[in-house]
Each structure stands twice: as C-alpha cells, then as structure tokens.
Amino acid sequence: MVALDLLGRRWSLRVLWELREAPAGFRSLQERCDGMSSSVLRQRLLELEDNRLVRRTDDGRYELTPAGGELCEAIRPLDRWARRWIASLDAPDDAESPGGPDDAGGPGGPGDAR
C-alpha cells in the first residue's frame, strides 16, 4: 500500500515517466511536466528520493534509480493501453475497445476462462 499511496500522489508518476529516457535538471523537468509549480515538483522529488526511486547525479540532475527504472518498465503497458483508449474515444462507437484480445484481461488473454 505504501507504493500505491506514493504513486497516487498528484504528479508522482508523471515525474518518474519524464525521467525514463534520461536524467534532467529541475527546470527541464518542470517544463516537461507542463510547468507544475516548483514547490510541488520539489516535494515530489524529495518523496521519490526518500523512497529510492529517484536520485541526484553528481552534476545535480535527477535520474531514476534501478528501482525507478523497473517501475517505469512496469507501467509501459498502461501507457500502451492509454494510447489505444484515447484513440478509441475518437473512433466510431462500433470500433473495438482497448480491452481487446491483445490485452491481458480481454478474451483469449490470461484472465479468459473460456
């Protein structure tokens, strides 16, 4: 539950996601996060550092720890689902929903009892 509480805080996942490709300085990270307030970003970074998901580099930038990188890999399927879902909102009503056969919970997936 501690992980869900941390990740459920506003902007936490976004900060992690924005660091997935490369380390970033504070201002760069703030811009990537659509200009969130500096106080909120500072608080989230402190929380993520305290929980060993983010760390400071020698040059003062922020980067993911191995655990933070592992978490970003774990949420990549959520990103893929979200992209399909957004696209489905623009599709006609009879188009297949994001929970189709390729999804884990869809027909034919691991959760299918057929």
Confidence of residue 105 (pLDDT cuts 50, 70, 90): very low
DSSP 54: E
Residue of 52, 79, 47, 49 whose CA lies nearest to 66: 52
**Cβ contacts of residue 40 below 8 Å, gap of 6+?**
10, 11
Confidence grade of residue 92 (pLDDT, cut at 50, 70, 90): confident
DSSP 16-27: HHHTSSS-B-HH
Torsion over CA of 78, 82, 84 and 87, rounded to 10 degrees?
-170
Sequence spans of domains, the chain: 2-67
pLDDT per position as a tens digit, 45-79: 999 999 999 999 999 999 999 999 999 999 999 88
Q: Using a pLDDT cut of 90, give the percent of the chain over it.
A: 64
- pLDDT over threshold 70, residue 11: yes
Report the CATH fold assignment for 2-67: Arc Repressor Mutant, subunit A (1.10.10)
pTM of the model: 0.72
For tokens 């659509």, what's the residue? 34
**Greatest pairwise CA separation for the chain in angstroms:** 55
22-52 pLDDT per residue, tens: 999 999 999 999 879 999 999 999 999 999 9
